[in-house]
Chains A and B, each alone.
Chain A
Amino acid sequence: MEPLTNNIEALLATKDYEELTKAERDQVAQSCGQQEYEQLRQVVLSGKSLREAPTPPTSLKANLMRAFRQKHQRRNIPLHTITLPFWQAAAIAACMVLMGQFVRFGPVYAQTPAIVWEANDSIWFKKVTQIVADTALAVFTADDQLKAPKEGEANIAATATAQLPTEKMLPQPVSDTPGWARRSALGTVENTPLLLMMH
C-alpha cells in the first residue's frame, strides 16, 4: 500500500478540506480527491475524540507514592549524585573546623584547673623543693656507687661538676640520666635550678 505523502498526512491531521489553500487542494486532488480526503479527515477526528477516556483512580497514585517512599527510604543514594549549594557546603566546612577546635582545646571550663596552687605559697614551695632535692640525692648517690669510675678513667662527672656550686650539692655522677632530667635537677653553673637554689 502506498503510504500517504508527508504533506497529505500532515494536512489530514490539522485541516478540514475547506481550510486548505489552493495549492494544498491541488495536492489533495492529485493524491486522493476531495471526497476521500473528507472521509479520512472524519476518521482522524474520530481518533482525536478517543482522548476522552476514563481517568486512573486516585488510589493508584496513593499506591505509587507509597511505593516510591518505601523504595527511597532504604536506598543508599550515591554520593556523586548529591548536589549542594555552595553556601551549604561552606557552612558544613565551617562547622567541622569549629568542632575540630573544640576537640583540640576542650571546652572553656576545662582550661581552668580544678586546684590552683599559688606559687608564692611558701610551705608548698618548700615541700616540693625538699622532695626534689631528696630524690636527686638518692638517685645520684646510688648511681654513683653503682657506676663509680675505675681508676685511670676520666671522671667526667667530676670534671663536669667542678664548676658547679658543690657546697650545695653532691658531685655529679656519670649516669644514664637524660641530660634534660639532670639539668632540671642539678642545673648548670650559669643556670642553677631554682628549686636547688632554694634548698
Chain B
Amino acid sequence: MPDQKQSKAIPTDEQLMQRIQQGQESAFNALYDRYSQRMYRYFYRMLGQSAEMAHDFTQELFLKIIEQPEAFDTGRRFSTWFYAVAGNLVKNEYRRKAKQPLQASLHDANHTPVSMAVLPDLDAEVRKTYIEKAVQSLRPHHRECFLLRYQEGLTVQEISEIMDCPPGTVKSRLHYSLKKLNELLSCVLGPNA
C-alpha cells in the first residue's frame, strides 16, 4: 500500500512526458529537476569537460522536449530515449569537428616530470584530475559505455538500447575501457594511492 501511494504521488518520467505533451509547465519543471544534473554531467564528460559546451548541449536537449514533445513515444522508457538523444547530439558534434577529442592529454600528463614515486601521495583533487584525463583519452564509444555504466549507473541492457548495439558489444567495450583505464591509472589507483 505505501508503495502504491508513493507511485501515485510521484509520477514516472513517462507520465511527466505525457503531461508535457499536454503543455503542463509543472511537469517540465519536475522533469528538468530530475535530469538536468545527469545530462549536464554526461555532456561535460563526453565533450572534453567544457562547462560551456555542457551548458549549450543540455539546453539544446531540453529544447527538443519543448519543441517536439510528441517525438517521445510514451510507451517507451524515457531515460533510455533521453540518453539516446543526448548520445546523438554528441555524435553529431564529433562529426562536426571531424576529429577525435582529446586523445593525447593523458600521455602528456604521463610525460610530465612528476616522479612516479610521488604519485601515490597525490591528493584527491589531483588524483581525480588524472582519472578524468584518463577517461577523456578513451575512444568515444568506450567512454560513453564506461560513463553510462559506472558514472550514471545504467544496466548493460539499457546501454545497449541507448547505443543501439547488442549487449555483448557493450560488455566488450566495458571490458576494453576497464583494462585501458587500469593501465593508465595503475600508478594512481594502486593499493597505496
Contact = CB atoms under 8 A, between A and B. Distances in A.
Interface of A: 1-4, 6, 9, 12-13, 36, 38-40, 42-44, 46-57, 60-61, 63-65, 67-69, 71-72, 75, 77, 81-83
B81 interface: no
B163 to A, nearest CB: 15
A4 B55 contact: no
A61 B50 CA distance: 19
Contacts of A81: 21-22
Counting chain B CB atoms within 10 Å of each CB, which of A2, A46, A65, A77 scores highest?
A: A46
Interface string B176-193: 101101100110010101
B157 to A, nearest CB: 11
B131 interface: yes
A75 B178 contact: no
Given A44-B178, A51-B151, A64-B62, A3 B171 contact: yes
A46 B45 CA distance: 14
B24 to A, nearest CB: 9
Q: Name the interface size band of chain B.
A: 35 or more
A43 B58 CA distance: 27
Contacts of A42: 182, 185, 189, 193
A65 B151 contact: no
A56 B37 contact: yes
Counting chain A CB atoms within 10 Å of each CB, which of B45, B150, B172 scores highest?
A: B150
Q: Which 8 A-B pairs have the closest CB atoms?
A: A47-B150, A3-B171, A53-B41, A42-B189, A72-B23, A56-B40, A3-B172, A46-B131
14 contacts: A1-B175, A9-B156, A9-B174, A39-B186, A40-B179, A47-B147, A50-B151, A54-B41, A56-B36, A60-B59, A63-B59, A64-B32, A64-B59, A65-B25
A71 B67 contact: yes
Given A38-B191, A39-B189, A72-B23, A51 B182 contact: no
Contact of A43 (B62, B66, B181): B181
A48 B178 contact: no
B121 to A, nearest CB: 17
A60 B36 contact: yes
Given A2-B175, A4-B171, A60-B59, A43 B189 contact: yes
B47 interface: no
Contact of A75 (B23, B51, B186, B191): B23
